[in-house]
Amino acid sequence: MGLRTYILQRIIFSIVLLYAVITVNFFIFMMMPGDPVNILANSMKLKNQEVLQSIIEKFGLDRPLHERYAKYVVNMLTGYFGYSYYTNEPVVTEVGLRLQNTLLLIIPPEIFAIVVGIVIGVLAAHKRGKFFDSASVVTALAAYSLPVFWIAMMLVLVFAYQLQWFPSGYTIPDWWVNQPHPIWDELAMRLKHLVLPWATLFLLSCGSYLLLCRATTLECITEDYVVTARAKGLPERTVLFKHTLKNALLPIITEVAIVFGFTLSGAIITEQVFRYPGMGWWIWKSIEQLDYPVLQAVFYIIAICVIVANLIADLLYGVIDPRIRYG
């Protein structure tokens, strides 16, 4: 089987999987407790039955289940996610308002955690049994095992309330809202508000990458090709990061693909602690308000990201490790 055939098969499989996700996503919310009509009426404080009926027809809640399912599948495939029960705004607009905050919150610390975790993991495997290895493993286990809300609260307590170096939450101060500011001042203020959430996510992620990279490197560091590379007199840095790490990256690629696939879900607990208006905070609020169109759209988008991320990871396996063949 060639690469093109493999890609075609994976694309077909991904399409089938996406349809299965859409179907499951629809019926899960149909079986959830709570009447969407009552939720809609309460959220809008509607008493007029004619107005309520017109809004119910707008959301399609009066149609039979099979018609709602068929329309739902078409809407998901065409990118039409309907309106929020709570705000009565298009879900696409709501996503756009919060997506930029989530990407800015998640991606920088995740990339930094990947780089630092891989480098320290390789060095810890190289110095296995020594103080650097033991200290790295203990620190990584501690950071990875601690609850994320505890890490966030400790950072807020120390650096926001005691030292008062950084803000305790939000993206900008309340008194900045609706006031013009120079772009560099606004950028500096936003970065200042992001320091503690970034530190929380970095500490949470770096430990897992370090432990995974150390474990995979230890499996490869005694292989014949590594011994041969050392026998040729290659520098130890080249042996570690070019020969050993390249073959130890496959499990790390899988981990990275899964993490970035769930990027759009945000960091729900972190965003709650820091009151950060991202996708995670929005998902939590939508769960509280039983805002089904929002939840259906978000879970569908997350599923697409995970499917695409895993497809990219499968293709990268053959690029990084030439021993893998698509056959």
Architecture of the domain whose range is 93-320: Orthogonal Bundle (1.10)
User: Which of 290, 221, 212 has its CA nearest to residue 253?
Assistant: 212
Q: Quick one: angle between helices 292-320 and 65-78, nearest 10? A: 50
Ordered per-residue pLDDT tens for the chain, 327 residues: 566 777 788 888 888 888 898 888 888 877 776 666 666 666 566 566 666 667 666 666 667 778 888 888 888 888 888 778 777 788 888 887 788 888 888 888 888 988 998 888 888 888 888 888 888 888 888 888 888 888 888 888 888 888 888 888 777 665 555 666 666 667 777 788 888 888 988 888 888 888 888 888 887 877 777 777 777 777 777 777 777 777 777 788 888 877 777 776 667 788 888 888 888 888 888 887 778 888 888 888 888 888 888 888 777 776 666 555 555
- Pull the structure tokens for residue 149: 């809300």
User: Which of 220, 239, 240 has its CA nearest to residue 230?
Assistant: 239
Q: How far apart are CA 73 and CA 23, in angstroms?
A: 8
Please provide residue 80's backbone torsions phi and psi, each rounded to the nearest 5 degrees: -100, 110
- Tell me, what's the pLDDT at 180? 66
Give yes or no for a contact between 116 and 206, defined as CB atoms under 8 angstroms apart. yes
Residue ranges covered by each domain of the chain? 3-78, 93-320
Q: How far apart are CA 35 and CA 268, in angstroms?
A: 25
Tally of CB atoms within 10 A around 200: 26
Sign of the Cα torsion 309, 315, 318, 319 reads negative
Q: Which amino acid is at 164?
A: Q
Q: Which amino acid is at 217?
A: T
3-state secondary structure of 323: coil
H-only helix segments in the chain: 3-30, 36-44, 49-59, 65-78, 91-126, 131-145, 148-155, 183-220, 224-231, 236-238, 245-248, 250-261, 268-273, 279-289, 292-320
- Tell me, what's the pLDDT at 208? 85
pTM (2 d.p.): 0.77
Q: How far apart are CA 280 and CA 156, in angstroms?
A: 19
